[in-house]
Chains A and B, each alone.
Chain A
């Protein structure tokens, strides 16, 4: 455990020396919080009129989001907010990918990997340290973003039923459990890529592909192909747990010190 913390400390000390990395880590979550907040604010302003009291004006797809105590305007806001659930889940995926993608191949190109591997650190400790160093700030950023989002909601006049909807089990599972699991999967995939390539740029480009399935899910949700409810979320979390276990196992078993040190082409 001591070695894992040493690697985390080292990674953070290095990464946070880069002001742009720090800026990105703060800017992306704030931007992704600002988007739904602004949308809710403007929709709240504009929905005082025609559909404020008339459920018959709502498309059938929106009715499924309505709770008993919601107005048609609330239903509309809940529908819109659901579109942003995946954005909150994306925060822990976007932030750590480039950090993790650089972490092994970056050390290889700066020649610091050899002395590091010559220490009595085990492969698991090394990968766990690097993985946690990338995942922890991303997970925290996701949680803090969600916290800011919740704080902002009453301030922009979002009604109590809508806020209750957002702190429902589906949302909480999405942000507090699925997001971190996605971060772990993203980080381990990026580390896997990082330990197989010889150029940090290649590692970053391949790792960024991780965003594609998340974007696909977002588009599918927008198109109404998938509706995220508690059952879907629990199934998704179950699948993520398996994916994470598989990626961690794969990462440790495929991390060949010798190949990493001697292969340059």
Chain B
């Protein structure tokens, strides 16, 4: 659905050095995938979205979006993608219905009225359709902007900070709707600072800061950065048990935290039964067994060079 090859954008600044915003970006996003594009402010995420939606041209490199080559078939790309910009940018003096009608016509939607009605009803804005958008809350504007992005039933949706600045309730609504879109099999390219949101919604994560640093599923990123860790809660720990566990093949590391043992291994599914058997045979009282799950935030912080890990248990 999106394939980029060495996509680069360098901004020319008057009387100053050139500013590289995106450097040699290589992405291959499949149809139906929800891709999370994560990075700090100024990393070049919005610039990337703008390039892929044909709003700005890359300095070098190529890309195909929905099968169309960037720069050659920009009109076709625009017809096939929907974009939720960082700011909703609605016409505040006009009603919600009028706002969407204008965009439906610009996207050459066939049955404008029914399509507008469908999306307003879908996001619970139908009752407020005749109210000026200026009277809407931020969450409602964001929902309206999502309606706008979906009016022409795009194959690919770009969401730039979809829940930014929303209160928890509005953010939850927007997230639920994104999950619904995901279940419909839409391809979604999403920039967000909300790492839990990305972890929950995205099939793959791209960690980006001008360059693409890592791309993978969040689970694979966890394994890559921290390995897999099993935590065993015991009534009490006898230090004599540690050498016995260390001797088990597959155990990479063991550490004790109060009455818990944290064991690093690549294959907990096969190793866990042996660990438990060994401990029980040695007289340990096993209370709980679980896998330690590092948060995406830890991976993010480590990747972005501010590594302050803090483990949380799943």
Q: Do A and B form a real pair?
A: yes
Q: Which of A110, A120, A261 contacts B50 (CB 8 A)?
A: A261
Q: Which of A3, A14, A111 contacts B94 (CB 8 A)?
A: A14
Q: Which of A17, A18, A121, A261 contacts B56 (CB 8 A)?
A: A261
Report whether A6 and B105 are in contact in the complex, using a CB–CB cutoff of 8 Å: yes
On chain A, the residues within 8 Å of B148 by CB distance are 115
Q: Which of B50, B106, B145 contacts A6 (CB 8 A)?
A: B106
CB distance from A17 to the nearest CB of B (A): 4
CA distance A110 to B85 in the complex (A): 12
CA distance A110 to B57 in the complex (A): 23
Report whether B55 and A3 are in contact in the complex, using a CB–CB cutoff of 8 Å: no
A117 in contact (CB, < 8 A)? yes
Contact digits for B245-271, partner A, Cβ 8 Å, 1 yes 0 no = 000000000000000000000000000
User: Which of B75-83, B115-123, B207-215, B289-297 is the interface stretch?
Assistant: B75-83
**Interface hits, A1-48 → B, CB 8 Å:** 2-3, 6, 9-10, 13-14, 17-18
CA distance A111 to B103 in the complex (A): 15
Among residues of B, the one whose C-beta sits closest to the C-beta of A112 is: B89
- When A119-B107, A262-B11, A262-B56 are in contact, do A114 and B94 touch as well, CB less than 8 Å? no
B31 in contact (CB, < 8 A)? no
Report whether B106 and A3 are in contact in the complex, using a CB–CB cutoff of 8 Å: yes
CA distance A117 to B107 in the complex (A): 11
B91 in contact (CB, < 8 A)? yes
B163 in contact (CB, < 8 A)? no
Report whether B91 and A14 are in contact in the complex, using a CB–CB cutoff of 8 Å: yes
On chain A, the residues within 8 Å of B55 by CB distance are 114, 117-118, 257-258, 261
CA distance A118 to B103 in the complex (A): 10
CA distance A171 to B55 in the complex (A): 47
The residue in A3, A6, A120, A121 that gathers the most chain B C-beta atoms within 10 A of its C-beta is A120
A113 in contact (CB, < 8 A)? yes
Contact digits for A90-115, partner B, Cβ 8 Å, 1 yes 0 no = 00000000000000000000111111
Among residues of A, the one whose C-beta sits closest to the C-beta of B51 is: A258
Report whether A115 and B79 are in contact in the complex, using a CB–CB cutoff of 8 Å: no
Q: Which of B89, B90, B93, B107 contacts A17 (CB 8 A)?
A: B93
B53 in contact (CB, < 8 A)? yes
The residue in B55, B85, B93 that gathers the most chain A C-beta atoms within 10 A of its C-beta is B55
On chain A, the residues within 8 Å of B107 by CB distance are 119-120
CA distance A119 to B74 in the complex (A): 10
On chain A, the residues within 8 Å of B57 by CB distance are 258
B10 in contact (CB, < 8 A)? no
Report whether A10 and B91 are in contact in the complex, using a CB–CB cutoff of 8 Å: yes
Report whether A120 and B75 are in contact in the complex, using a CB–CB cutoff of 8 Å: yes
B155 in contact (CB, < 8 A)? no
CA distance A18 to B132 in the complex (A): 13
CB distance from B180 to the nearest CB of A (A): 22
A-B contact pairs, 25 of them (CB 8 A): A2-B108, A3-B106, A9-B102, A13-B91, A13-B98, A14-B93, A110-B89, A111-B89, A112-B91, A114-B83, A114-B89, A115-B85, A115-B89, A115-B145, A118-B54, A118-B78, A118-B85, A120-B75, A120-B79, A120-B106, A120-B108, A122-B75, A257-B55, A258-B57, A262-B56
Nearest 10 Cβ contacts at the A-B interface:
A111-B89, A111-B87, A112-B89, A119-B106, A258-B56, A17-B93, A6-B105, A120-B78, A10-B102, A118-B83
